[in-house]
Amino acid sequence: MRFDRETELAWAVGRWEAEVKNRPLVNVHRRSLDTTWRQVIRRFGGDPVLLCGPDHSTLLEDCKV
């Protein structure tokens, strides 16, 4: 069974939202999950910053300033 890129991308963004979006920045698993799902989104041709917002490291930097 093969899905089109749009379906795969929507699935990956949905998984990022379910597994990463609402985790606190101090959660020990958040960075690795964020990195993993962003790689999947890029693999399916998406721009993770556009679709999910800033990555974990950028959010941490913004909190320090």
The pLDDT score that the predictor gives to residue 1 is 66
pTM value is 0.89
User: For 7-24, how does the pLDDT look when each residue is reduced to its tens digit (9 = 90+)?
Assistant: 999 999 999 999 999 999
Answer yes or no: are the C-beta atoms of 9 and 46 closer than 8 Å.
yes
In the chain, where does DSSP find H-type helix? 5-16, 30-43, 48-52, 56-64
Q: Which tens digit of pLDDT belongs to each residue from 46-62?
A: 999 999 999 999 999 98
At 3, the pLDDT band (50, 70, 90 cuts) reads confident
Q: Are 5 and 43 in contact (CB under 8 A)?
A: no
**Domain segments of the chain as ranges:** 5-64
Has residue 2 got a pLDDT over 90?
A: no
